[in-house]
Amino acid sequence: MTYKNLLYEIKEKTGIITINRPQVLNVLNAETVEELASLIEEIKNDPSVLTVIITGAGDRAFAAGADIKEIRALTPSSAQAYLRRGHDMLNSIEMLGKPVIAAINGFCLGGGCELALACHIRIASQNASFGLPEIKLGIIPGYGGTLRLPRIVGRGKAIEMIITGDIISSAEAQRISLVNRIVKQEALMSEAQMLAGTISKRGPVALKYAIETIIKGSEMSFQDAISFEINNVSLLCATEDKIEGTTSFLEKREPIFKGK
């Protein structure tokens, strides 16, 4: 498919999604959300893609938020469907079953920050900045920011960021574990692609179960999470990839995983 607001290419088993609205700082309007939802579904059903990178076009923004004109026009009734669609799209990223890396350059604010939070790994350039400034508009984050941010940085820091609406630097974002690593601006995509390439060498089935076990397990009681982990490891023991992985280790060679 072709997309109006997105660019998409596959490089060495990595699907690279670029939000291509640099003239408006890659703002996530409703049309872009719909396109992301469609593209993520396409990637989900493409066995040739093992990892995903999401980034923003230009050097000024990953995504600077949602479309304020659209937000202003929302009524209590229309907001329900509008926000649900955003949640569904971000949930589809988080539960894609394939590792998703956010390569963040410039502004990562509001809905853009919530998009990054739904990704599994966040790499930021030195000029990146982060925030959930919705409180300054008389609202609160509506694409999962109040849910994912506390799970990643802790409740106290999340409350501070959300109720002040302050924007933080990439260095502060790394300090509070909002981003995994910081790189020079010119090295952002090469670093993301190198990491994606490393991950792509791992067993696809194990990657899917690892993400699912971490995300769903964090929402369970500790004892239920133990049972969930045991069950998923047991299921992996029935896969061809498990046999290949253990055999290759004993034979001192690189594994050739087939995703089975």
Q: Delimit the domains of the chain by residue range.
A: 6-200, 204-250
Joined together, the tokens standing for residue 142 give 């509506």
Per-residue confidence (pLDDT) for residue 28, from 0 to 100: 96
% of the chain exceeding 70 in pLDDT: 100
φ and ψ at residue 9, rounded to 5 degrees: -145, 160
- Output the CA–CA distances (angstroms, integers) from residue 234 to 51, 75, 167, in the order listed: 24, 48, 44
Which CATH topology does 204-250 take?
Lyase 2-enoyl-coa Hydratase; Chain  A, domain 2 (1.10.12)
Decide whether 6-200 matches 204-250 in CATH topology.
no
List per-residue pLDDT tens for the chain, 260 residues long: 789 999 999 999 999 999 999 999 999 999 999 999 999 999 999 999 999 999 999 999 999 999 999 999 999 999 999 999 999 999 999 999 999 999 999 999 999 999 999 999 999 999 999 999 999 999 999 999 999 999 999 999 999 999 999 999 999 999 999 999 999 999 999 999 999 999 999 999 999 999 999 999 999 999 999 999 999 999 999 999 999 999 999 999 999 998 88
Predicted confidence (pLDDT) per residue in 16-38, tens digit: 999 999 999 999 999 999 999 99
CATH number of 6-200: 3.90.226.10
* Residues labelled catalytic: 114, 134
Rounded Cα–Cα distance for residues 67 and 57 (Å): 17
**Residues sharing a CB contact under 8 Å with residue 40, sequence separation 6 or more, in sequence order:** 89, 92, 93, 96
Phi-psi map region of 38: left, alpha, beta (phi>0 left; psi -120 to 50 alpha): alpha
> Measuring CA to CA, which residue among 251, 240, 248, 253 is closest to residue 204?
240
- Output the CA–CA distances (angstroms, integers) from residue 124 to 7, 116, 120, 147, 157, in the order listed: 20, 10, 13, 21, 19
Per-residue confidence (pLDDT) for residue 116, from 0 to 100: 98
